Structure formats: C-alpha cells, structure tokens
Amino acid sequence: MSLNKTPFFELRSGSVDTLLFVVKTTDLDALRTELTRRFEATPEFFANDVVAIDVRRLAETSATDRVSLDELAQLLASVRMRPIGVVASPAQTWATQWASSGGLPLLEARDRRGAPKPSEGAASANTEAAAVIEAAVAKTPPPALPMPATIIDRPLRSGQQVYAKGDLIVLGLVSYGAELIAEGNIHIYAPLRGRALAGVHGNHDARIFCTCLEPELISIAGIYRTTENPLPADILGKSVQIWLDEEKLMLEPLRLT
C-alpha cells in the first residue's frame, strides 16, 4: 500500500473559521469585568466558540505590556470560549515565546484589521515594492466568475447552521439558535431571530439585508452586535440593510416603497 494512502485517516489542507479575540489592554481585571458583563447578558452568545487571541493592538516589544497567557486562557474558558492560537504582528518578537508558554501556536490571520499601521518612513520604503505588486496584478488574468449564491428555501431551527462561500439567500424563518455564515452578503426574506455573520473572511464590503430584523447577533467581517445592545424602534422587526463603516455597524431601514 502506498505510504500516501491509508483507509484510517487523511491529511488535507484546509481552513477553519474562528473569531478573533482582540486584546486591547493588559488589565486582566478590566477584561474579566467586561467579559463577565457580556456573558451574563447573553449566556449563550459564545456557545463554546473557538477563538484566536489577537495581540496586534498591544505594544511591539515592551515586556510591561504583556499579560499572562495562562490567566487569559482561563478567563476565556470561564465564559465558554476556547483559545486555539495567537495572532501577532511580525514586530512582536516576544509573541512566539509568549504563545509557546501557554502551549498555543502562532496563527496567521487573513484580515489585517488590528495590525499596526506602517510609519511614513516604512511606507516610503515600500513604494518600489508596491509598484512591483501593481505591475504583477496588471498582468494577472481576469478574475473567475463570482461564486453562485446559496439559496435556502426552508425554515432553520435552533442549532442548525448554514455556510456559504458566496452570497447566502434565505427564504424561511431563521429561529433563535440558528446561524447563517457567508463569505459574501446575506439576504433574509423572513424574520431573522438567530445569528447572521456576513463577510466572514474579512470582506468589509459585505452587507446583510433582512425583511424582519429580530436577531441574536449580526456581524460583518468580525464586527458584531448582540441583543445586549437593543435595536432602536425604527429598526427592530423592520426591513433593514446592514453594512460596515470602518469598525462600526450601520443599520438603515430599507425603503421598499
């Protein structure tokens, strides 16, 4: 039998979607207080989700700006989040040792949100490289046809999840506890009472359209809003479109007439 084939297991390349837990402070008490407040308001929100600990908002090299990884992992576990790795910028040379101290690998995030912005000097130094990249892009063949939309024409019950590599169109009720995930836009022509996560691979141009918005959670490119932040009366239960403006979710009633 070939060493590359076995009936017992396979090794394949792939990707796993995960939330980024972006650490903006090393004050563990402040993190604990805020996480506890959110967990108590929506105890089913995290639901044993896996997360990558993103430390790119912290200082690059200062040892005083670090936090105990073991304590942070325990804190996340207390609110039912499961850390699977650490995301850091290349300049954060301490991150490798910091991650290994807690038995977690360094991961590479597809999005660049949260990464430090280059200085003017660095931007100037990269001008030539940018020109090379631009020239290479100009020579690339036209992009492939867009991914066809996934259409779901049945109601989704609690615990059911649908994933779409392109746009996702749902024609039935999305019940509490159900989850919609799409790399593109999400269109819901029925009440949304569960979760809707659009642009999950960092597509900040993705949008959510819904004819009756009553969600547990809405998210675009990782920026989310839950029921702990009540929707205004002109949005709740109405036809709405949702998009991302920088790091803020914008909600606007749809003008259907």
- Please compute the mean of the pLDDT values over residues 252-257 and round it to a whole number: 81
The whole domain housing 73 covers 19-114
Q: Are residues 83 and 168 in the same domain?
A: no
CATH number of the domain bearing residue 99: 3.30.70.260
Enter the tokens of residue 28: 């563990």
Q: Are residues 76 and 166 in the same domain?
A: no
SS3 of residue 130 by DSSP: helix
240, 256 Cβ separation under 8 angstroms? no
Out of 60, 87, 114, a domain closes at 114
Q: Is a pLDDT exceeding 60 seen at residue 40? A: yes
> 61: pLDDT confidence band, cut at 50, 70 and 90?
low
Structural domain tally of the chain? 2
Owner of token pair 């396979």 = 10
Backbone φ and ψ for 201, nearest 5 degrees, come out as -100, 30
Q: Are residues 241 and 168 in the same domain?
A: yes
Out of 87, 114, 141, a domain closes at 114
111-143 pLDDT, tens digit each: 544 444 444 444 444 455 455 445 544 544 555
pTM score of the predicted model = 0.51
175-206 pLDDT, tens digit each: 999 999 999 999 999 999 999 999 988 889 99
Quick one: which H or E segment has residue 139?
A: helix 127-139
Q: Are residues 89 and 25 in the same domain?
A: yes
Q: Is a pLDDT exceeding 90 seen at residue 214? A: yes
Q: Are residues 202 and 107 in the same domain?
A: no
Beta bridge partners of residue 70, listed in sequence order: none
CATH number of the domain bearing residue 182: 2.160.20.70
The whole-number pLDDT of residue 100 equals: 85
71-104 pLDDT, tens digit each: 888 888 888 888 888 988 888 888 888 888 888 8
Out of 61, 87, 114, a domain closes at 114
164, 181 Cβ separation under 8 angstroms? yes
Q: Does 90 map to a domain?
A: yes
Q: Does 133 map to a domain?
A: no
